[in-house]
Amino acid sequence: MNNGTVYLIPAVLDEQGLTAIPAYVVDAVKHCSVFFVENERTARRYLKRIWKEMVIDDYEWHVIHKAEEAVRSVFMAALQNNKTVGIISEAGCPGIADPGQVLVAAAQAAGSTIKPLTGPNSIVLALMGSGMNGQHFRFAGYLPIDSAARIKAIKAMENEAVTKHCTQLFIETPYRNNQLLDALLKTCNPHTRLCIAASLTSPEEYIKTRSITEWKKNPPDLNKRPAIFIIGD
């Protein structure tokens, strides 16, 4: 039975970040004949940057969206035909805070060969640069949009960070970053440490850890900037 091979291909936010992509990623791309991507336009441009000789139109391209049934069916058909498939998220590593995980789950169920490739991931990079506990941490994803539910979630994370010494990582849609930061500054204890890591691997990279009191003195403008927020004790 043919089950295909799936490469999980890391991507970057900005051209400056291309230096963080290992050379063996290009070799993996050369093995692929089909790509499932979060954004076809940026994925094509990215692959052309790392492999200038690539003839884009020689490959099949499918947009993941949220891996609705139609996309999953095409994906499974490719694996059944023993094709080598590449999955590329908009930035970072496929399957980590990314819709590609649904396709990876389908490939696992089909018994396909899965090959995750090393590359920049904002969650890991932010934790590394935060100075907070990297032995015990939790990624909470997106917090609730509702104000009351969001405050409740922030308080729960802060409590776990203090009582269990568990670093808390979370994200927000970039255009709502400033609202989240405002909620954090109004809700958290003055001595709680907050790390803000934005635009990682780009020329505008920003990563700082300060107490809530210190952040209140000079809060950054994070509007439309991809960011990771980290709370620690």
AA identity, residue 164? K
List the strands of the sheet with 167-171, edge to edge. Answer: 137-142, 167-171, 227-232, 193-198, 206-211
Phi and psi at 62, nearest 5°, equal -135, 135
Task: Give the model's pLDDT for residue 18.
Answer: 86
Task: Give the model's pLDDT for residue 76.
Answer: 95
Task: Give the model's pLDDT for residue 66.
Answer: 66
| DSSP-derived 3-state class of residue 206 | strand
Task: Give the model's pLDDT for residue 1.
Answer: 54
Do β-strands 167-171 and 227-232 pair in parallel, antiparallel, or remain unpaired?
antiparallel
Q: Which residue has the higher pLDDT, 35 or 233?
A: 35
Is-contact 200 13, C-beta < 8 A? yes
CA atoms within 13 A on the CB side of 70: 3
Do β-strands 60-63 and 34-37 pair in parallel, antiparallel, or remain unpaired?
parallel
For residue range 133-178, list pLDDT tens digits in order: 999 999 999 999 999 999 999 999 999 999 999 999 999 999 999 9
Question: Rounded to a whole number, what is the distance in angstroms from the first to the last CA of the chain?
Answer: 52
For residue range 7-65, list pLDDT tens digits in order: 999 998 777 778 888 999 999 999 999 999 999 999 999 999 999 999 999 999 999 98
Task: Give the model's pLDDT for residue 171.
Answer: 97
Is residue 39 classed exposed, middle or buried when 0-12, 13-18 and 19+ CB atoms within 10 A define those classes? middle
Is-contact 224 175, C-beta < 8 A? yes
Task: Give the model's pLDDT for residue 67.
Answer: 64
The whole model's pTM is what?
Answer: 0.87
For residue range 55-106, list pLDDT tens digits in order: 999 999 999 986 688 899 999 999 999 999 999 998 889 988 888 899 999 9
Return the closest-CA partner of residue 36 out of 133, 101, 108: 101
Is-contact 188 231, C-beta < 8 A? yes
| DSSP-derived 3-state class of residue 78 | helix
For residue range 172-203, list pLDDT tens digits in order: 999 999 999 999 999 999 999 999 999 998 88
- Tokens 């209140």 locate to 216
